[in-house]
A and B are shown apart, each in its own frame.
Chain A
Amino acid sequence: MDDRAITLPSPARCDNLRPVHPLTDFHALMINFNCTIQEGIVPEELRPALESELARISTDILGGNPVDVTVQWIEVPHGFGFRGGALSTTSAVRGEIPPGCEQETRVRLMQSIQDRWMEITGCTTDELVVSARDRRPS
């Protein structure tokens, strides 16, 4: 990414973020998702829709540009993931967002992701963990 690719949140959406310097702090505007799923639980054909919805929801709420949202998939092979000591069917969507987000905004983000993920995949609330943590300074 070069300086020309920087996209600042619109003023209406950036009041929940701490001030950023566009030239030295552009990395902080990026949003990354790490989706850990169990083998066979989230079919591959659903993943593009999930990726675009993660980008849409997060930039609708936090601002920024959907092209700056990255999504990484980690598939846990069958027999390698457990929850409560039993084989797991849980997906974990871990977001890394610009620091300084107000809690109300963070909850709205997590709730929106949860709702949409459940709609697309058909999973239950117990089969999904969503987090939105502040990006640590690099």
Chain B
Amino acid sequence: MPYYRCIIPQDSLTFEQRQEIALAFTDIHCGNTGAPRSFVSVSFFETPEGEQPEFGTPYYLDGGNRAGRPEEVKQQLLADLTQAFSDISGVPVEQIPGRIRENPASWTMEGGFVLPEPGQEGPEWYAAAAAAAAD
């Protein structure tokens, strides 16, 4: 479910930087929420030169998560993601706006299961998620 879209200018990041950011986002998301690593998706979308960026700024972090986490967790998550993106890309933090949108967990099926609400993940769900990831 956690899905982070990074809007970036064309040819602004190397493959190594993108991979490093994806790894950092995975570490940060799982560190803040306890979610399984295999559930964290990160994609990069380049804005072609001369085109208007989707959110009006060259860089933008657009996240989508399960609803129900405390506000301070969400704020910390976004701050940590922004800092990591800045550290790896060299783009100043103030030039990387972002947001995290939320939807009820029950609206998503992943790994063959409807997602549990944050905090409702039982050991059987973690086991099933791990088994699906190992397939």
Contacts and interface: CB of A to CB of B under 8 A. Distances in A.
Interface of A: 36, 76, 79-85, 88, 90, 92, 103, 106-107, 110-111, 114, 124-126, 128-134
B41 A88 contact: yes
B15 A82 contact: no
Contacts of A130: 108-110
Interface of B: 1, 3, 15, 18-19, 22-23, 26-27, 37-46, 103, 106-112, 114, 132-133, 135
Best-buried of A82, A110, A130, A133 by chain B (most CB within 10 Å): A82
Contact of B42 (A82, A106, A134): A82
A126 B107 contact: no
Nearest to B24: A85
10 contacts: A82-B43, A90-B41, A92-B3, A103-B106, A107-B109, A110-B114, A124-B135, A125-B132, A129-B41, A129-B110
A89 B44 CA distance: 14
B37 A85 contact: yes
A45 to B, nearest CB: 24
Given A84-B37, A106-B106, A129 B1 contact: yes
Contacts of A107: 109, 114
Contact of B108 (A84, A124, A126, A131): A131
Contact of A111 (B26, B38, B109): B109
B41 A92 contact: yes
Given A82-B41, A84-B26, A125-B132, A106 B112 contact: no
